[in-house]
């Protein structure tokens, strides 16, 4: 990675730097807080695998306080946030101090929420360590936690000042974690960039996925959309493609046969592409292309007929809904999407049972 040139994206409210953090402006950002406290939020995985690298690379971090989050989606809850806020109070953290979120999607989501709520807002930066965090969770200013099994029911819009994406951290991840991020990269291509879709289909290894130009292309799509619609009043909703059904599956599975966020989004995209096809928004050929690409990397999950109503019940808690109607983002061809489309229980059920068919008859 060191021989790849640093890529910088300047958005309206923040800056993204993609490349070696050692060659980035990270040290300059830290220098601006030389007279103030620095708090690093990590989970158990990044504490063990990433924290030492960051601290030994930047002397300014030797004085930082470390806040440890328990690993796992089940800990993305208010009770854990309260514990962190209590720790920040004990450290006498002020609004002039800095929080660094070092971790994957959960750390970015929770850390941003913790920082944006405490004393009405602390400055924070994100250093994502998973591909999912790099291309999705760390970018866009959406911060949140779960409530009673429902995804991201409590949250804020608050941007980090900087996001530092260094693929060196991806070496600490198992292969399945890399593919969590791949799902979001596929989504970005499907909703906005047909050329990227064609390019990303040629990826056959984890090493291809973590190249700077591929990450940069995916991040650029998201940042451009967010710049046009920072508070999700319209266009930004297309970034939720795959998430209406995906979040419902993730929430439903949380206390059963738990699946990762990326896996859930991949399943959701397959199901929502099925609805797009049935509505003739995309052709059968396009749907088969999407289905083949997703199933090549993500195993389908069996969904029994009697499970469908409970999965649909999760969708009624989706933040995008209005007036009791389930609203969804669907495809309008590969590389284009529409939002605020009402979908009904019958077509959701049909799409879920199609996933079940794929799981039980993969060929």
Interval 175-229: pLDDT, tens: 788 888 999 999 999 999 999 999 988 876 777 778 889 999 999 999 999 999 9
For residues 184 and 266, the answer to whether their CB atoms sit within 8 Å is no
Please give the full DSSP string across 102-170, using - where no structure is assigned. EESHHHHHHHHHHHHHGGG--EEEEEE-SHHIIIIITSSSEEEEEETTEEEEEEEE---SEEEE-GGGG
CATH number of 179-203+230-360, picked from 3.30.470.30, 3.40.50.150, 3.40.50.300, 1.20.1090.10: 1.20.1090.10
In a 13 Å sphere around the CA of 213, the CA atoms on its Cβ side amount to 7
Residue ranges, comma separated, of all CATH 1.20.1090.10 domains in the chain are 179-203+230-360
**Mean pLDDT per 10-residue segment, the chain (363 residues):** 76 96 98 97 97 98 98 95 98 98 97 98 98 96 93 95 96 85 96 95 78 93 97 96 96 80 96 99 98 94 93 90 92 98 98 95 73
Q: What distances in angstroms separate CA 221 from CA 65, 96, 202, one per listed residue?
A: 35, 32, 19
- Model pLDDT, residue 1: 42
Strand pairing partners for 41?
Answer: 67, 101
In the block, residue with structure tokens 């929420």: 113
Contact 18, 165 (CB under 8 A): yes
Which ranges in the chain are annotated with CATH 3.40.50.1970? 7-172
Side-chain-side CA neighbours of residue 355 (13 Å): 31
Closest CA relative to residue 343, chosen from 322, 360, 363, 359: 322
- Angle formed by the axes of helices 284-297 and 175-192, nearest 10°: 160
CA 281 – CA 287 distance, rounded (Å): 10
pLDDT at res. 2: 44
Model confidence pTM above 0.75: yes
| Among 179, 72, 188, CA closest to 130 | 179
Q: What are phi and psi of 135, to 5 degrees?
A: -100, -5
CA distances from 18 to 26, 130, 133, 213, 314 (A): 11, 13, 13, 9, 36
Write out pLDDT tens, residues 41-93.
Answer: 999 999 999 999 999 999 999 999 999 999 988 999 999 999 999 999 999 99
Alpha-carbon distance values, 142 to 16, 71, 120, 303 (Å): 15, 20, 16, 30
- CATH 3.40.50.300 at 7-172, yes or no: no
Q: Is 341 helix (H, G, I), strand (E, B) or coil?
A: strand
Biggest CA–CA distance in the chain, Å, is 62
Residue of 90, 123, 94, 97 lying closest to 35 (CA atoms)? 97
d(CA 275, CA 277): 5
């Amino acid at each position: 990675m060191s021989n790849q040139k640093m890529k910088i994206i300047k958005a309206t409210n923040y800056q993204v730097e993609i490349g070696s953090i050692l060659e980035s402006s990270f040290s300059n950002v830290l220098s601006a807080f030389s007279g103030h406290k620095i708090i690093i939020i990590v989970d158990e995985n990044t504490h063990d695998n990433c924290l030492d690298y960051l601290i030994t690379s930047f002397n300014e971090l030797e004085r930082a306080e470390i806040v440890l989050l328990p690993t796992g989606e089940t800990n993305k809850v208010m009770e854990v946030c309260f514990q962190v806020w209590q720790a920040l109070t004990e450290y006498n953290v002020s609004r002039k101090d800095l929080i660094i979120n070092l971790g994957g999607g959960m750390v970015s989501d929770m850390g941003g929420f913790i920082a944006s709520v405490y004393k009405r807002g602390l400055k924070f930066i994100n250093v994502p360590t998973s591909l999912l965090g790099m291309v999705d969770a760390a970018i866009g200013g959406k911060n949140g936690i779960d409530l009673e099994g429902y995804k991201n029911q409590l949250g804020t819009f608050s941007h980090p000042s900087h996001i530092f994406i260094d693929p060196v951290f991806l070496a600490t991840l198992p292969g399945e974690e890399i593919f969590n991020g791949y799902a979001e990269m596929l989504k970005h291509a499907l909703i906005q960039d047909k050329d990227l879709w064609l390019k990303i289909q040629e990826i056959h290894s984890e090493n291809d996925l973590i190249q700077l130009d591929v990450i940069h292309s995916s991040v650029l799509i998201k940042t451009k959309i967010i710049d046009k619609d920072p508070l999700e009043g319209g266009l930004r909703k297309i970034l939720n493609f795959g998430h209406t059904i995906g979040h419902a599956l993730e929430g439903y599975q949380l206390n059963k046969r738990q699946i990762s966020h990326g896996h859930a989004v991949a399943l959701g995209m397959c199901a929502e592409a099925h609805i797009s096809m049935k509505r003739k928004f995309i052709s059968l050929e396009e749907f088969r292309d999407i289905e083949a690409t997703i199933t090549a990397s993500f195993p389908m999950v069996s969904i029994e007929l009697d499970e469908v109503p409970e999965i649909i019940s999760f969708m009624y808690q989706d933040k995008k809904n209005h007036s009791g109607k389930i609203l969804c983002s669907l495809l309008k061809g590969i590389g284009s999407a529409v939002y605020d489309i009402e979908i009904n229980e019958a077509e959701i059920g049909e799409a879920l049972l199609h996933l079940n068919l794929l799981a039980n008859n993969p060929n």
